[in-house]
Amino acid sequence: MKIFIDSNVIISAARNPNGKPFQAFIKAVTFPNTGIISEQNIDEIRRIFNRKFPHQIPLLEHFWALALPILTILPVPVNAYSDEAKIQDTDDRPLLRTAIYTNVDIFITGDKGIIKSNIEKPKIMTPADFLNYNL
């Protein structure tokens, strides 16, 4: 399965290797699954760490050293999809666009705006839901 991993899940996974987001990340990148992020995720995560967690940047860099080689990283497609309008936060729409364009099966996120968007494809799941999901 192709699994898109939202920035908030990666941030939580990088900061806490004992939490559900980290476990969901591991499940998403473990064969036969393919973990997918967009270039926007990387930029967004770096900005958030620089602003909110500057003292933990070495932790993020260590996480990236392990995670980036096993992730599929894609550019954000130019053309929008109609389902993007279901997400109120326009900053999150390019992430969904990448997921739709890539035809991912599951989009893992902790973002309530995305979770409540009623998007059917890809299937939107929290890290906890994904951990309980039988692939």
Average pLDDT over residues 9-24: 96
Q: What is the mean pLDDT of the chain?
A: 94
Q: What backbone phi and psi angles, to 5 degrees, belong to 8?
A: -65, -30
- What superfamily would CATH give domain 2-132? 5'-nuclease (3.40.50.1010)
Q: Note the pLDDT of residue 134.
A: 87
CB 6 within 8 A of CB 107: yes
Report the share of the chain in percent with pLDDT over 90. 80
pLDDT at residue 9 is higher than 90: yes
Q: Model confidence over 41-77: pLDDT tens digits?
A: 999 999 999 999 999 999 999 999 999 999 999 999 8
Better-scored residue on pLDDT, 42 or 84:
42
**pTM for this model (two decimals):** 0.94
pLDDT at residue 26 is higher than 90: yes
CB 102 within 8 A of CB 4: yes
pLDDT at residue 129 is higher than 90: yes
Q: Note the pLDDT of residue 79.
A: 87
Contacts of 51-60 with C-beta under 8 Å, sequence gap 24+, read: 53/15, 56/14, 56/15, 59/14, 59/15, 60/14
CB 43 within 8 A of CB 8: no
pLDDT at residue 113 is higher than 80: yes
